[in-house]
Amino acid sequence: MLNNIKFFDTLSKDKKSFKPLSPGVVKAYACGPTVYSDPHIGNFRSFIVTDMLHRWLEYRGYNVQLIMNITDIDDKTIRDSILNKIPIKEFTLKYTKSFLRGLDLLNIKRAIAYPRATVYIPQMITFIQALLDKNVAYLTEDGVYFDIDKFPEYGKLSGIKLSETQITDRVKKDEYEKESVQDFALWKKSTLEEDNRSKNEEGIAWDASFIYNGAQISMRGRPGWHIECSVMTRSLLGDTLDIHAGGEDLVFPHHENEIAQTECLTGKLFVRNWLHIRHLMINGKKMSKSLGNFVSFDEVLSKYNADAFRYFYLNTHYRRPLDYTEDAMIVATNSVKKLENTLNLAEATLRGEENKLDYDQEEEKIIKQIENQKLSFETAMDDDLDSHTAIESLHNISGLINDYLSKNINKGVLLKVYLIYKKLLDSLGFFQKRESIGDELTQNLVNVVIDLRNEYRRNKNYEKADALRKKLASLGIILLDNAEGTIWKKEN
């Protein structure tokens, strides 16, 4: 594994050479969704970037153990399941499925697990008890809290200085019984309403008992948000993660709190590389439900395909602002189509006749040029996942292959450069669901129709020739005439 991957690490605020703890294996964790509504296109920026990270590490030969959590218990899942009059388990399952469907539609490679918070309640209780035992947490009437004064490094990730931080309305409105407003909940005692509801409904409250100051105290309730990730990362990946990724909004307080909990418990470094993804904007503004500029995932995919969408996301570096606009999507659609056309042309040509068996300067030149572009691509990706520069190389390769295709080609050489191109596209997750061109019989049948049409064309019977082309098009088979003859591709 001779490479020099570097990632920008939020903690050190610098690009760092990436070296996993165990050679060849990457333990990675990305914060997933809270399943209380359909995911929107903003959420998918971080999921696509995580997918790119996943694919790139695999391209570089790592065994990537990626975990993405699903938060299926919190204030919003409780609130909205009541509003919708659906049992919480059914409610969260619905949106978990919606999330997974989105991953598939966008060709996002699956993580090895999508653990749900509610499955890890016993481990959370154990974790919280351990923090109480270490005297870094305390128990009050309404919950268990982490005492941030016990963790002197608190703030090291976000750079936040609590003394200079404004106490916002949200903090002021906090009604919990905490010693300090900055402390955060590890366990929340159920409200009366939740308690009643939980008598005939699973997934809202759990029995727990904690030993505090020598006394055993029962407290039916639910975990705080931050403890989920600390517990699931530890249960599935161990004390130290190579990479922890998520949206930029999670830096504070979520990830800051995860560090505090986990490092207090284990005494070890929690995460070696923190990777945060910038939020998506829309028409220059923050995307939010309250502003009414919220775009659903299905709405976008009804207008633009998954590859256009992926191109839109990856054409800008993941730490740069990205603005969703119609213009940007049109540019992405056209640009990605151009990259795909090269695949279509090369594949059609590879299906065609052999017409050059020699290897001369032309062949030597294109192989060398494409190897160089491949190197630029890899260098860019190694440099903190610079997908924008990598895509530039893809355009260069596309142009080189197109140029070669316009000449007398050697199929062996074409196949060689085609496979390089395909592999690089694959590493960014492009064109994962290309239409199959069918079996041999289908191909032969299409060729029969093409021959027939070309006979009509030779006889200048263009009406019949066009009618055949139209009929094939209705089956998704697109004919392209060029100087050497007719080639075809499959479209859906």
Partner RNA sequence: GCCGGGUUGGCUGAGCGGUUUAGGCGGCUGCCUGCAGAGCAGCUCUACGGGGGUUCGAAUCCCUCGCCCGGCUCCA
Instruction: Give the 3-state secondary structure of residue 11.
Output: coil
Binding range to RNA, per CB under 7 A, among 278-286, 411-419, 421-429, 434-442: 278-286
The footprint of RNA on residues 97-156 (CB under 7 A) is: 148
The residue from 15, 19, 76, 110 that contacts RNA (CB under 7 A) is 76
- Shortest separation between residue 150's beta carbon and RNA, angstroms: 13
The footprint of RNA on residues 27-56 (CB under 7 A) is: 31-34, 42-43, 45-46
The footprint of RNA on residues 451-480 (CB under 7 A) is: 457, 462, 465-466, 469, 478-480
Q: For residues 21 and 457, which CB has a smaller minimum distance to RNA in the complex?
A: 457
The footprint of RNA on residues 196-215 (CB under 7 A) is: none
Q: For residues 109 and 457, which CB has a smaller minimum distance to RNA in the complex?
A: 457
Strands (DSSP E) contained in 99-202 are 137-140, 143-146, 184-189
The residue from 83, 112, 181, 419 that contacts RNA (CB under 7 A) is 181
Partnered with residue 320 across adjacent β-strands are none
State the burial class of residue 96 (Cβ atoms within 10 Å of its Cβ: 0-12, 13-18, 19+). middle
Strands (DSSP E) contained in 171-306 are 184-189, 209-212, 215-218, 221-223, 241-247, 271-277, 280-282, 285-286
Instruction: Give the 3-state secondary structure of residue 41.
Output: helix
Residue 145 has φ and ψ, to the nearest 5°, of: -125, 150
The footprint of RNA on residues 367-396 (CB under 7 A) is: 388-389, 392, 395-396
Does residue 406 bind RNA (CB under 7 A)? yes
Does residue 405 bind RNA (CB under 7 A)? yes
- Shortest separation between residue 222's beta carbon and RNA, angstroms: 10
Binding range to RNA, per CB under 7 A, among 21-29, 67-75, 83-91, 298-306: 67-75
The residue from 92, 129, 182, 373 that contacts RNA (CB under 7 A) is 182
Site string for RNA, 161-180 (x = CB under 7 A): x--xxxxx-xx--x-x----
- Shortest separation between residue 142's beta carbon and RNA, angstroms: 10
Residue by residue, DSSP assigns 296-320 as BHHHHHHHS-HHHHHHHHHTS-TTS
- Shortest separation between residue 61's beta carbon and RNA, angstroms: 26
Distance between CA atoms of 289 and 293, rounded to whole angstroms?
7
Q: For residues 63 and 165, which CB has a smaller minimum distance to RNA in the complex?
A: 165
- Shortest separation between residue 235's beta carbon and RNA, angstroms: 20
Contact 404/454 with Cβ under 8 angstroms?
no
How far is residue 182 CA from its own chain's centroid? 31
Does residue 96 bind RNA (CB under 7 A)? no
Does residue 241 bind RNA (CB under 7 A)? no
Does residue 82 bind RNA (CB under 7 A)? no
Does residue 16 bind RNA (CB under 7 A)? no
Q: For residues 109 and 464, which CB has a smaller minimum distance to RNA in the complex?
A: 464
What is the sign, positive or negative, of the torsion defined by CA atoms of 87, 92, 98, 104?
negative
How far is residue 192 CA from its own chain's centroid? 39
- Shortest separation between residue 467's beta carbon and RNA, angstroms: 10
Distance between CA atoms of 314 and 233, rounded to whole angstroms?
27
Does residue 297 bind RNA (CB under 7 A)? no
Residue with tokens 């151009």: 338
Contact 45/109 with Cβ under 8 angstroms?
no
Does residue 192 bind RNA (CB under 7 A)? no
* Residue 84, both tokens: 């919708």
Distance between CA atoms of 197 and 79, rounded to whole angstroms?
12
Distance between CA atoms of 21 and 273, rounded to whole angstroms?
11
Distance between CA atoms of 131 and 141, rounded to whole angstroms?
18
Task: Please name the residue ranges forming H helices in 277-360.
Answer: 297-303, 306-314, 326-351
- Shortest separation between residue 169's beta carbon and RNA, angstroms: 8
The residue from 11, 280, 343, 428 that contacts RNA (CB under 7 A) is 280
Binding range to RNA, per CB under 7 A, among 117-125, 282-290, 297-305, 363-371: 282-290
- Shortest separation between residue 327's beta carbon and RNA, angstroms: 3
